[in-house]
Amino acid sequence: MATRNEAQRENRNESGGDEPDAVQLAMQMGMGFVNHDKRNRQAAIDAFAAVDEFQFQHVEAEVARAASEAYVDALWEKDEIEEAHTVDGELDREALDAADWSPVEDAFAERASLAGIDPAYAELTTVAWRRHKTGGDYWTPMKRAQMYELRAALQDDDYPYKPRDGLSGSGPEPTRYVLGVELHDVRRFEEGLEAMMPYFQRIIDGHRETHEEWVV
């Protein structure tokens, strides 16, 4: 008897099109952020949805797309808060840090609920994006949040598999995600694409149920 994930995958394959590869997924993720930067809301949703409809195969495609819309909602709410705390073209970082970020967290919480991500994702991602603008350690909460997202995509609460020391880390793929954000920030888009490819390959491999066993 097929699992729910297998049934979802078969239905999508029957509806047409080959599954994307890691390069295509990384490009779509990057285009989501580029279109966000350009204020192209629908194009951003379409790009993120191309990723989410693939990675969240445990939910219907329309639910995965709704999760993408919630993600874009969060980004737009973030932008509105930043605009409200900009004076003469400069962010008032102290005021921005003290601002009410609950609309952002609410949108991330909606995404988590739709995609079956641990609810902690919402607060962690909100803290990460706030610190990304105001200063401070944004990468630690972002890596933790992406660990939860990967667990949902892989349907595997044991990710990352760490057989020995270093058990407190969030895993190599969330670290690559943060590297991708850093490279996006400095407009090194091609390097960002390369950094994100193994992130998506891990999801592809997980969907194919080809978990690699590490021998140390």
Q: Is residue 166 part of a domain?
A: yes
Angle of helix 139-154 relative to helix 172-185, nearest 10 degrees, comes to 130
CA–CA–CA angle 88, 44, 138 (5° rounding): 60
Q: Is residue 74 part of a domain?
A: yes
Q: Is residue 124 part of a domain?
A: yes
Q: Is residue 114 part of a domain?
A: yes
126: which 2 tokens? 């909100």
Q: Is residue 58 part of a domain?
A: no
Return d(Cα 61, Cα 11) in angstroms, integer.
Answer: 10
Q: Is residue 42 part of a domain?
A: no
Domains held by the chain: number = 1
Average pLDDT over residues 90-116: 97
pLDDT tens readout for residues 30-89: 999 999 999 999 999 999 999 999 999 999 999 999 999 999 999 999 999 999 999 998
Backbone angles phi, psi at 90, to 5 degrees: -120, 135
- pLDDT score recorded for residue 66: 98
pTM to 2 decimal places? 0.87
Q: Which domain holds residue 146?
A: 69-205
- pLDDT score recorded for residue 6: 52
